[in-house]
């Protein structure tokens, strides 16, 4: 690589890092500013007052988002893995169409899915009396209905890169179908499964378009709480809660790094 290209690449990468990181740094800095959310205009004075006075509904929303994210992800894991095997290894008529349907939440606007789930749950509630609107179960089922696509996509990628010779070797040694699945295939593609689970949880935790049509007064996720709060006022309470959410995401990534490693999660080779 020529010095000019190297310099241009360096400038591009630095600019990209600045573009991504500056908004997050702004949120972090303003969350500790006693004089408000505009430090350039009003000045800066370090304080923890915005963290000490966080509205209780923010923490309630965080709890709701956590419950819905965990529950919907747990529901999505099993069907997502089975659908991934059907897409990656199945040989039946309509396989391509079925795969496109399963993965459609990755490309469809989530607000369309939100409207669809709202109308569907309304009909189900009218005919069965099940309280799917303004309830935990409605949010959980709706989130599982679109986050499972992230599990499918990650597991399909793992299966496509899986060495089938490992299964053949296990079969030659007398291992049955289920033994090969549980002790060879699934452990080998575990990073892909964990990656899909993490993405599914984060998408659910941060969701607004789908939750917007289904939440109730007692089931308001954190993103909706923040959005409703910002309709009336904008102050460092927003940035303080956002900073705590970022810290939660970073902690989650550290757990992943400690358990399976970020490089394995994204499919990069291990460092020598």
Mean pLDDT, the chain, integer: 86
- Residue-wise pLDDT tens digits, 93-130: 888 888 888 888 888 888 999 999 999 999 998 888 88
- Residue-wise pLDDT tens digits, 203-252: 999 899 999 999 988 899 999 999 999 888 888 899 999 999 988 888 88
Residue 6 has what pLDDT?
Answer: 85
Residue 267 has what pLDDT?
Answer: 52
Residue 266 has what pLDDT?
Answer: 53
Q: How far apart are the first and last CA of the chain?
A: 24
3 against 82, higher pLDDT? 82
- Residue-wise pLDDT tens digits, 149-179: 999 988 988 888 888 888 888 888 888 888 8
The structure's pTM equals 0.85
What percentage of residues in the chain have a pLDDT greater than 70? 94
Q: How far apart are CA 272 and CA 257, in angstroms?
A: 17
Band of pLDDT at residue 5, cut at 50, 70 and 90: confident
Rg (CA), the chain: 23
- Nearest to residue 65, comparing CAs of 263, 232, 211? 211
In this structure, are residues 246 and 21 in contact, taking their beta carbons and an 8 Å threshold?
no
Q: How far apart are CA 147 and CA 229, in angstroms?
A: 26
Spell out the SS3 assignment of the chain. Answer: CCHHHHHHHHHHHHHHHHHHHHHHHHHHHHCCECCCCCHHHHCCCECCHHHHCCCHHHHHHHHHHHHHHHHHHHHHHHHHHHHHHHHHHCCCCCHHHHHHHHCHHHCCCHHHHHHHHHHHHHHHHHHHCCCCCCCHHHHHHHHHHHHHHHHHHHHHHHHHCCCHHHHHHHHHCCCCHHHHHHHHHHHHCHHHHHHHHHHHHHHHHCCCCCHHHHCCCCCCCHHHHHHHHHHHCCCHHHHHHHHHHHHHHHHHHHHHHHHCCHHHHCCCCCCC
Least confident span in 38-52, 235-249, 253-267? 253-267
Whether the predicted pLDDT of 8 surpasses 60: yes
79 against 233, higher pLDDT? 79
Q: Which CATH superfamily is domain 55-265 in?
A: MetI-like (1.10.3720.10)
Q: What is the mean predicted confidence (pLDDT) over 9-35? A: 88
């Amino acid at each position: 690589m020529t010095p000019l290209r190297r310099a241009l690449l360096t400038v591009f990468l630095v600019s990209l890092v600045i573009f991504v990181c500056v908004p997050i740094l702004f949120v972090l800095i303003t969350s500790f500013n006693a004089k408000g959310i505009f430090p350039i205009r009003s000045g800066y004075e370090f304080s923890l007052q915005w963290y000490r006075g966080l509205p209780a509904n923010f923490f309630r929303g965080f709890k709701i988002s956590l419950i819905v994210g965990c529950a919907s992800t747990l529901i999505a894991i099993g069907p997502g893995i089975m659908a991934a095997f059907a897409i990656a290894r199945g040989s039946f008529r309509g396989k391509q169409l079925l795969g496109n349907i399963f993965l459609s939440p990755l490309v469809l606007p989530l607000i369309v899915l939100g409207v669809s789930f709202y109308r569907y749950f309304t009909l189900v509630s009218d005919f069965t009396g099940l309280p799917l609107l303004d309830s935990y179960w409605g949010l959980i089922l709706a989130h599982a209905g679109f986050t499972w696509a992230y599990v499918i996509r990650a597991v399909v990628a793992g299966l496509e890169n899986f060495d089938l010779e490992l299964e053949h070797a296990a079969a030659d040694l007398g291992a049955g179908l289920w033994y090969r699945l549980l002790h060879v295939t699934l452990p080998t593609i575990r990073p892909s499964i964990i990656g899909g689970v993490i993405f599914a949880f984060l998408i659910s935790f941060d969701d607004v378009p789908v939750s917007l049509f289904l939440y109730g007064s007692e089931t308001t996720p954190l993103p909706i709480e923040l959005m409703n709060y910002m309709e009336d006022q904008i102050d460092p309470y927003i940035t303080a809660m956002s900073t705590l959410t970022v810290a939660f995401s970073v902690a989650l990534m550290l757990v992943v790094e400690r358990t399976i490693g970020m490089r394995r999660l994204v499919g990069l080779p291990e460092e020598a």
